Amino acid sequence: MFDLSSTVSKVVFGLLLGLIGLFLFFPLYWLAISSVKSNAELYSIVPTPFPLAPTLTHFVTALTTGKLPMYLFNSLVASGASAALNTLLALYAGYSFAKYRFAGRQPVMLFMLSAQMFPFGLLLISIYPLMSEIGLLDTRTGLILSYIVFALPVSTYMLYSYFSQVPDELIEAARADGASDLRIFHTIVIPISIPPIVTVFLYSFMWSWNDLLYSMTLIVSDEKRTIGPGLLLTYLNEVNSDWGGAMAASLLASAPIVAAFLFLQRYFIQGVTAGAVK
């Protein structure tokens, strides 16, 4: 075996990590610098590695002339609502799977997770006529519900795993103190489960925010369109050549997720349950 602390291995590992980093971040870097380059610079024969004269024109144009704000708003509504509803449902479902013993618990859990085995596109084939049948095609409600279909199994499983680790004695102590089952869940279990709840919320929010296929298929009217198809239809068509605008809009579309992660990262820090038992 080679020695990880040797200089040679440090150099090799450093180079490898650097390469992976470059591979991952170069497109992002290019996106960022392209969004602040002028059109003249963007179309120069030899690409410039740094913007020569940074400008915010593309951002201003994207936000003022196009429909980007509307798409962003639509995405916020669809993603926010589906994430909230999904988290709420996953909370109760995950807790009941984790802490109650009832007939069919395991089969139901497996059945739910089996939904994950099918490709998204495949399920769309059955969701589309269903939405059409119940009149939810081209509605925000329909889009939100279809997002939940995909996020809920994994979300439930994530919370189930967490709740399984909540000590039974904590719940029993609350029962002995006279709290009802719902009260225990609301006043004891949820307050100590903020980190996983935030994780699940972000997971399902991202899921719907990044979606292209479902929104593209289920939403027809432009005023309900979300950011994914919005960006695609605005910038990636045969006649468009506004690359600067596309880059600026893409950055703007990524901003909410990045902001949410930065804002909520403290909840990912573990140790909130320390001191409960032992």
Partner 1 sequence: MARLELHQIRKSFGNIDVLKGIDLTVEDGEFTAFVGPSGCGKSTLLRLICGLDEITSGQMMIDGQVVNDVPPAKRGLAMVFQSYALYPHMSVADNMGYALKLGGTPREEIRRRVEAAAKVLRISDYVDRKPRQLSGGQRQRVAIGRAIVREPKIFLFDEPLSNLDAALRVEMRIEIARMKERLGTTMIYVTHDQIEAMTLADKIVVLNAGRVEQIGSPLDLYNAPANRFVAGFIGSPRMNFLSVQEQRLEGGRARVHGGLVSLNTLPPEAPSEIGVRPEHLELCAPGSSNALNGTIVMTEHLGSDTYAYVGLEGTDEMIVVRLDGERSIRQGEHVGVSVNPDAVHVFSADGRTLVSAKPMARNAA
Instruction: Look at the alpha carbons of 262, 263, 268, 274 in this order and tell me if their dihedral is positive or negative.
Output: positive
Closer residue to partner 1, CB minimum distance, 169 or 222: 169
Q: DSSP string of 65-80?
A: TSSHHHHHHHHHHHHH
Q: How far is the CB of 215 from partner 1 (least distance, A)?
A: 38
Residue pair 171/184 in contact by the 8 Å Cβ criterion: yes
HSE toward the beta carbon, residue 218, CA cutoff 13 A: 33
Closer residue to partner 1, CB minimum distance, 32 or 179: 179
Q: How far is the CB of 276 from partner 1 (least distance, A)?
A: 4
Cα 59 to its chain centre, rounded Å, is 24
> Phi/psi class of residue 180: alpha, beta or left (left: φ > 0; alpha: ψ in -120 to 50)?
beta
Closer residue to partner 1, CB minimum distance, 127 or 189: 189
Q: Report the C-alpha gap between 85 and 201 in whole angstroms.
A: 9
Q: Report the C-alpha gap between 4 and 237 in whole angstroms.
A: 50
Angle between helices 57-64 and 243-264 (to 10 degrees): 90
Q: Report the C-alpha gap between 54 and 247 in whole angstroms.
A: 14
Closer residue to partner 1, CB minimum distance, 73 or 268: 268
Closer residue to partner 1, CB minimum distance, 179 or 264: 179
What token pair was written down for 73? 């708003």
Q: How far is the CB of 195 from partner 1 (least distance, A)?
A: 12
Q: How far is the CB of 56 from partner 1 (least distance, A)?
A: 44
Q: Tokens 């996106």 label which residue?
A: 31
Which residues contribute to the site for partner 1 (CB under 8 A)?
A: 167, 169-170, 172-179, 183, 188, 191-192, 271-278
Closer residue to partner 1, CB minimum distance, 177 or 222: 177
Q: How far is the CB of 182 from partner 1 (least distance, A)?
A: 12
Q: How far is the CB of 108 from partner 1 (least distance, A)?
A: 21
